[in-house]
Structure 1
């Protein structure tokens, strides 16, 4: 089995596992980590083809959750507090369904447990058809959509860094991620699990109505913040303050 890049150093504290989203990397958690590391050991993983992880031509969201379960086994970690942003949340939901015995809590940041709606699948298919000719343009457009208009003014440097990182990814990596997100099944999460959603009220990628529908169906805790899709970069302090697993 291929491996995803990760960083972890055990000191015996509870483990918080942080997984970024599409076109991101584990470095995007740096501001969140600074607020957690005094009380938690941090396991930060990078998706295939993202950051320093090797490119993989084909995989599923369920395979990623299995890969993570193997890291837990390797380090004798019984349970984790899983924090997943966007695509990382898709993996977190799959992990919660497949390995609930290894989950203290799941925090879904700008993410949902259900599969893509038909319109979203069509958008991904369109991107897959065109991306070999327009990869850089697609990456720029996709990243622009992650931020609100006001955030574009406030976080210009961060956005440009994210675009540079996204454009450095191989075509194979971008396509594999798009297919994995498109083809993921809905995860019917156990209502007894310790799960919360933190989401932006101006998220142009995952509309808050979809998240609120899941909150109503599962009766999980939800926190709405005034922001777009990249709360881990734009609202790290608020994320930390609202993670209910923090003691």
Structure 2
């Protein structure tokens, strides 16, 4: 049984795979997708328990990368430009490590290839302990933290819509995602695959210093924007203009 749902229409153009983050869905790519669809075939993927994907109790980031690899083979897709936001980027990094022959490029949006630091693991463990009793409060708080103060003022409708959608997720789905993110290993990326980091300089979920350290250590490329953790919603035009595979 597949853990994720896929939406794809082939017109024999280069393929861009779009994978959202924790508490998100494929609809968050709508603005980006509208700018890409004339020149690329778009493959939308939804994480387990998110959007239309089934709710399952346990999986790993590596298992999602494997499923995507198998799905590409079944669809007859040789290579993709993988664009992953946050948790979707964790899957993208795992995919780049294990299946580089199926990859044209990897774009990590508000994401890193490294594992959770101890403090982040502790935060996820606290959420896991409390989620049964306080799911709605946790989801609301978690989503609030994805946006800067200025973005709360300018994107209020988008934030509320994300909360409504995320509150439809089951406790099982939220727990499984938290554990998968907590337990993922670090991935070393190099210039064998084209990698580009796009990140917010006010991101309180993944601090820019962690991303910039990865970029420097691994000899990769990246670009920051004045924003928080949800650039695909708050800065879609900037993302479109800075996707490295877009001429």
Q: Hey, what does 1:134 align to over in structure 2?
A: 134
Runs of 4+ displaced beyond 6 Å = none
User: How many residue pairs get matched?
Assistant: 247
Q: Hey, what does 1:43 align to over in structure 2?
A: 43
Residue pair 2:3, 2:64 contacting (<8 A) in 1 also: no
TM-score, length of structure 2 as denominator length: 0.99
Residue pair 1:80, 1:103 contacting (<8 A) in 2 also: yes
Q: Hey, what does 1:221 align to over in structure 2?
A: 221
Whole-Å Cα distance in 1 between the matches of residues 182 and 134 of structure 2? 19
Q: What aligned pairs does 1:94-113 form with structure 2 within 5 A after superposition?
A: 94-113=94-113
SS at match of 1:49: coil
Q: Hey, what does 2:177 align to over in structure 1?
A: 177
Whole-Å Cα distance in 2 between the matches of residues 49 and 98 of structure 1? 24
Per-residue deviation, 1:20: 0.1
Q: Hey, what does 1:198 align to over in structure 2?
A: 198
Q: Hey, what does 2:164 align to over in structure 1?
A: 164
SS at match of 1:105: strand
* 1:13-55 deviation digits (Å, cap 9, x = unpaired): 0000000000000000000001111110000000000001010
Whole-Å Cα distance in 1 between the matches of residues 222 and 186 of structure 2? 19
Whole-Å Cα distance in 1 between the matches of residues 195 and 147 of structure 2? 25
Whole-Å Cα distance in 1 between the matches of residues 108 and 3 of structure 2? 23
Q: Hey, what does 2:90 align to over in structure 1?
A: 90
Whole-Å Cα distance in 2 between the matches of residues 12 and 54 of structure 1? 29
Q: Give ranges in structure 2 of 5+ residues lacking alignment.
A: none
Per-residue deviation, 1:3: 3.5
Q: Hey, what does 1:22 align to over in structure 2?
A: 22
SS at match of 1:58: coil
Q: Give ranges in structure 1 of 5+ residues lacking alignment.
A: none
SS at match of 1:84: strand
SS at match of 1:165: helix
Whole-Å Cα distance in 1 between the matches of residues 54 and 3 of structure 2? 8
Whole-Å Cα distance in 2 between the matches of residues 3 and 115 of structure 1? 22
SS at match of 1:108: strand
Q: Hey, what does 2:33 align to over in structure 1?
A: 33
TM-score, length of structure 1 as denominator length: 0.99
Whole-Å Cα distance in 2 between the matches of residues 3 and 208 of structure 1? 31
Whole-Å Cα distance in 2 between the matches of residues 245 and 223 of structure 1? 15
Whole-Å Cα distance in 1 between the matches of residues 224 and 133 of structure 2? 38
